[in-house]
A and B are shown apart, each in its own frame.
Chain A
Amino acid sequence: MDFGLTETQELIKASAREFLDEKSDSAIVRAVADGDSDAITALWNEIVELGWSSLIISEEHGGAGLSFSDFAVLLEELGASLAPTPIVESSISSWILERFAPDALKSDLLPQIANGDILITPAIVERDASWDPESTKVAATPSGSNLVITGEKRFVAFAEQATHALTLVRTDDEELTLVVVPIWKSDGVEQTPLSHASGVPVSSLSFNELEVSESNIIATGKEATQAAEELVAAGGVARAAQLAGLGRAVIEATVEYTVNREQFGVPVGSFQAVQHHLANMAIAAKQVTHLVHSAAWSFSPYGYSADTAAQAKIAASDKIAELCWTAHQCHGAIGFTWEHDLHLYTRRALAWKTDYGDSAFHKSKLANAMGL
């Protein structure tokens, strides 16, 4: 057992903190939430430049070839700063391409992701809001060397910025197909923007007889289900890593507030009732961090632990949301205001809790893994 960070990870963490302190402060987070999409583009361009968006793309395809646990360390910092950037969407898509796509598609898309020419976001969920691949209804009909896709995907993050969506469709023979579809200014794709608690762009995508080349297919049949399951697991661990960082940031802010805020002539942080709230928050954040590291460590180019991945997302979803609510209680009235930043964290935590399978979804997965 080694709970320490490697030299590379320490370096990632330090440089991420330094960059994000400046580039993802609350003014930027608020601007993006108010619809400033130029701010998203500016931040994303710098992140591509830093090589973060290609951290887990293999060297062969123009990335840094680092591990999923290295990525998790970066995501904790991005979560702590609420960075409004599509790094999870892009990196999870590239991870699934690396793991499942045919060589030609990999060599085509991965280098373009690495250099920022394209941005892929997962579009999995439909009207029933389920992350279960089996609930897919969006239809694809073969036509020559193309698939013709019709139907609606919902809750697609950064669809406004993305050039492509990684989406799951059902073909006429009832088989699932995982395919990359071009959405940027595509005829046959209509976006409906949603007003989402995450404070980043989230939309629904309507495909109306969208023609996609068969060469864009990542996987079909059982393999498509397996790939979609891995996408949800990896996305869940990535969100859990962001939530771990977010939780840490909320604890730091709450400690600072309760040490400085005085009532009855003493800091409110000297009261046992407040200290016990914070101790509970510290335990929760620590547990989530350990489970995230353990889950991220299990991801390799050969597979992952479904059991641990589910645990990480369950813990992060439940514990970090609760941690945020406790932080509001510790902040008193000021933490209830629009002006104070705390609700930005809470909103993000509540949104991330639902992404890539909520707690109930992953508990059901975990129960399966336990033989129940």
Chain B
Amino acid sequence: MRFEFTPEEKNFKSQLSSFLDDVLPNDWHGPADESRDDHWVLNQDIKKGLAERGWLVMSWPKKYGGSDSSPMINTIFAEEMAYRRAPGHDRFGTRMFGPTLMRFGTEEQRKKHLGSIARGEIQWCQGYSEPNSGSDLSSLQTRAVEDGDDFIVTGTKIWTSLAHRADMMFMLVRTDPEAAPHKGISLIVLNMKSRGVEVQPIVNMAGVHSFNQVIFDQVRVPKSNLIGELNGGWRAGMTVLNFERSGIDYAAWARAALEELVDYVNSDHAEVSTAKSDATVRIKLAELHMEVEAARLMCYDVSYRQGKGEIPSAEASMSKVAASEVYLKVLDYGVELLGMYGVLESGSNQSELQGRFFKMRLFYTSGPILAGTNEIQKNIIAQRGLGLPRK
């Protein structure tokens, strides 16, 4: 048992923190709105800066330009980036597609794509969900039909984050409609500039254009873009989801938001000046502090186990559920604490904390839904973690 970071870990955290001090605007509150051009420029600048310092893909093996950093260092990286609500952490390329390519790609494919991800040059997005395939992903219908040296891709992907900014997409397509659902799926990569690709923005309930619907109308994709085996895409595709599943971002966002609330309550400039002397406010903020720390430790435990070579599937699901739930609790309480001010939209006159809590609360309704709903995560915890029978 040891509940502190090593000197090396502390040192990395402080270096990253000073880099973010330099690169983030003084009045930065985040989170970035990727549909805003100025925020996207910031995203690209930070990504390049991280790449120059060797941090963007430090989790990768040395032979692909990484530094084989430990899962704990990777978690500290993700945590600090999220805590500062900094953009530029290219998860799709660096943490999802890159590692999948290392495992399932050909040498030529690795050569072609890994370098550009490591340099922060190419933006990737993920084409998994479809209008009729959410949690039941293996029912996906987007077809890829073989035609000479190409596939012809037709169908629709949805909830695609960053499709409006991405150069490339890695996607799951159905290549054998006759086979069992899991056995007729392939993983391919597609250039978003291809003829027949149409990106339609979807504005979320917070009023932010963060994801998209992408329509593929007979898009030609060379067969050399197949990753792994034909009809072997389910396994490769699920590997991505294992990289995706952790709660550390939520735990860090929750900590940042809670600290803002504590500062607000203690401030002499708060319009809701009664909060300072309200015992129920003290009690509630203390409870949330405990919940945030509990979620944070769960995320560190996942990294600790990964560092020992385990694949802590149930623990990763637990951390995602706990952290995404506590983040919403903090945001809920922020809105409640601000009372009448709590429901002022961001940008409103006389708003408190720039109306950010209301906007974030609406935005992160997505937390328990995306990357495997919390209900799906609980199935994993019960079945893989506790050994309860599958239906």
Task: Spell out A's residues near B (CB within 8 Å).
Answer: 1-6, 9, 69, 251, 255, 258-259, 266-267, 269-272, 274-276, 278-280, 282-283, 286-288, 290-291, 293-294, 296-298, 308, 310-311, 314-315, 318, 360, 362-364, 366-367, 370-372
Please give, as numbers and ranges, the residues of chain B lying within 8 Å of A275 by CB-CB distance. Answer: 378-379, 382-383, 388
Do residues A278 and B386 form an inter-chain contact, with CB atoms below 8 A?
Answer: yes
Closest to A1 in B: B300
Do residues A293 and B1 form an inter-chain contact, with CB atoms below 8 A?
Answer: yes
23 A-B pairs (CB sep. < 8 Å):
A1-B304, A272-B379, A275-B383, A279-B379, A282-B314, A283-B381, A286-B298, A286-B315, A286-B318, A288-B294, A290-B297, A290-B298, A291-B294, A293-B1, A294-B3, A294-B293, A297-B3, A310-B286, A310-B290, A311-B293, A367-B283, A367-B285, A370-B285
Please give, as numbers and ranges, the residues of chain B lying within 8 Å of A296 by CB-CB distance. Answer: 1
Please give, as numbers and ranges, the residues of chain B lying within 8 Å of A255 by CB-CB distance. Answer: 386-388
B3, B287, B377, most chain A CB atoms within 10 A:
B3
Do residues B286 and A4 form an inter-chain contact, with CB atoms below 8 A?
Answer: no
Do residues B294 and A272 form an inter-chain contact, with CB atoms below 8 A?
Answer: no
A287 touches which one: B3, B72, B279, B298 (CB < 8 A)? B298
Closest to B307 in A: A1
Please give, as numbers and ranges, the residues of chain B lying within 8 Å of A371 by CB-CB distance. Answer: 262, 266
Closest to A281 in B: B386
Please give, as numbers and ranges, the residues of chain B lying within 8 Å of A6 by CB-CB distance. Answer: 1
Provide the bound-state CA to CA distance between A6 and B2, in Å: 10
Q: A69-B1, A370-B289 are in contact. Are A282 and B303 (CB under 8 A)?
A: no
Provide the bound-state CA to CA distance between A2 and B282, in Å: 32
Please give, as numbers and ranges, the residues of chain A lying within 8 Å of B50 by CB-CB distance. Answer: none
**B391 at the A interface (CB under 8 A):** yes
Query: Shortest distance in angstroms between A281's beta carbon and chain B's nearest beta carbon?
Result: 9
Closest to B379 in A: A275
Closest to B5 in A: A1
Do residues B375 and A278 form an inter-chain contact, with CB atoms below 8 A?
Answer: no
Provide the bound-state CA to CA distance between A259 and B388, in Å: 6
Do residues B304 and A2 form an inter-chain contact, with CB atoms below 8 A?
Answer: yes
Do residues A291 and B297 form an inter-chain contact, with CB atoms below 8 A?
Answer: yes
Query: Shortest distance in angstroms between B291's beta carbon and chain A's nearest beta carbon?
Result: 8
**B265 at the A interface (CB under 8 A):** yes
Do residues B286 and A314 form an inter-chain contact, with CB atoms below 8 A?
Answer: yes
Do residues B388 and A278 form an inter-chain contact, with CB atoms below 8 A?
Answer: yes
Please give, as numbers and ranges, the residues of chain B lying within 8 Å of A69 by CB-CB distance. Answer: 1
Do residues A1 and B381 form an inter-chain contact, with CB atoms below 8 A?
Answer: no
A370 touches which one: B72, B286, B321, B388 (CB < 8 A)? B286
Provide the bound-state CA to CA distance between A314 and B387, in Å: 29
**B390 at the A interface (CB under 8 A):** yes
B290 touches which one: A251, A283, A311 (CB < 8 A)? A311
Do residues A290 and B294 form an inter-chain contact, with CB atoms below 8 A?
Answer: yes
Provide the bound-state CA to CA distance between A367 and B283, in Å: 7
Provide the bound-state CA to CA distance between A364 and B387, in Å: 39
Please give, as numbers and ranges, the residues of chain A lying within 8 Å of B72 by CB-CB distance. Answer: 1
Determine chain A's interface SS by DSSP, over half rule: helix
Closest to B385 in A: A282
Q: A1-B4, A3-B301, A276-B382 are in contact. Are A363 and B294 (CB under 8 A)?
A: no
Please give, as numbers and ranges, the residues of chain B lying within 8 Å of A2 by CB-CB distance. Answer: 1-2, 304
Do residues A315 and B290 form an inter-chain contact, with CB atoms below 8 A?
Answer: yes
Provide the bound-state CA to CA distance between A311 and B289, in Å: 8
Q: Which are the 4 A-B pairs with shortest beta-carbon distances? A: A275-B382, A279-B378, A287-B294, A290-B297
**B322 at the A interface (CB under 8 A):** yes
Please give, as numbers and ranges, the residues of chain B lying within 8 Å of A363 by CB-CB distance. Answer: 282-283, 286-287, 290
Please give, as numbers and ranges, the residues of chain B lying within 8 Å of A315 by CB-CB distance. Answer: 290, 294
Query: Shortest distance in angstroms between B278's beta carbon and chain A's nearest beta carbon?
Result: 10
Q: Fill in one digit per residue for B289-327: 1 if any A CB lies within 8 Å of its CB, else 0.
A: 110011101101101110010000011001001100000
Provide the bound-state CA to CA distance between A2 and B375, in Å: 29
Query: Shortest distance in angstroms between A372's beta carbon and chain B's nearest beta carbon?
Result: 5
Please give, as numbers and ranges, the residues of chain B lying within 8 Å of A3 by CB-CB distance. Answer: 1, 300-301, 304-305
B1 touches which one: A283, A297, A311, A318 (CB < 8 A)? A297
Q: A298-B3, A363-B286 are in contact. Are A259 and B389 (CB under 8 A)?
A: yes
Do residues B389 and A372 form an inter-chain contact, with CB atoms below 8 A?
Answer: no
Do residues A269 and B304 form an inter-chain contact, with CB atoms below 8 A?
Answer: no
Provide the bound-state CA to CA distance between A363 and B3, in Å: 22
Provide the bound-state CA to CA distance between A296 and B3, in Å: 10
Do residues A270 and B389 form an inter-chain contact, with CB atoms below 8 A?
Answer: yes
Q: A3-B300, A286-B318, A294-B297 are in contact. Are A364 and B282 (CB under 8 A)?
A: yes
Please give, as numbers and ranges, the residues of chain A lying within 8 Å of B391 by CB-CB distance. Answer: 266, 270-272
Query: Shortest distance in angstroms between B206's beta carbon and chain A's nearest beta carbon?
Result: 27
Q: List 8 extra interface pairs beyond A275-B378, A276-B382, A278-B382, CB under 8 A.
A: A4-B304, A275-B379, A276-B375, A279-B378, A283-B322, A283-B381, A315-B290, A362-B286
Do residues A366 and B378 form an inter-chain contact, with CB atoms below 8 A?
Answer: no
Do residues B289 and A366 form an inter-chain contact, with CB atoms below 8 A?
Answer: yes
Closest to A371 in B: B266
Query: Shortest distance in angstroms between B176's beta carbon and chain A's nearest beta carbon?
Result: 30
Provide the bound-state CA to CA distance between A346 and B259, in Å: 35
Please give, as numbers and ranges, the residues of chain B lying within 8 Å of A290 by CB-CB distance. Answer: 294, 297-298, 301
Provide the bound-state CA to CA distance between A314 and B286, in Å: 9
B2 touches which one: A1, A283, A318 (CB < 8 A)? A1
Do residues B3 and A293 form an inter-chain contact, with CB atoms below 8 A?
Answer: yes
Do residues B389 and A269 form an inter-chain contact, with CB atoms below 8 A?
Answer: yes
Do residues B322 and A287 form an inter-chain contact, with CB atoms below 8 A?
Answer: yes
Query: Shortest distance in angstroms between A287's beta carbon and chain B's nearest beta carbon?
Result: 4
Closest to B390 in A: A270
Please give, as numbers and ranges, the residues of chain B lying within 8 Å of A278 by CB-CB distance. Answer: 381-382, 386, 388
Please give, as numbers and ranges, the residues of chain B lying within 8 Å of A280 by CB-CB distance. Answer: 378
Chain B 244-288 residues near chain A, CB threshold 8 A: 262, 265-266, 279, 281-283, 285-287
Do residues A367 and B318 form an inter-chain contact, with CB atoms below 8 A?
Answer: no
Do residues B286 and A366 form an inter-chain contact, with CB atoms below 8 A?
Answer: yes
Please give, as numbers and ranges, the residues of chain B lying within 8 Å of A310 by CB-CB distance. Answer: 286, 290
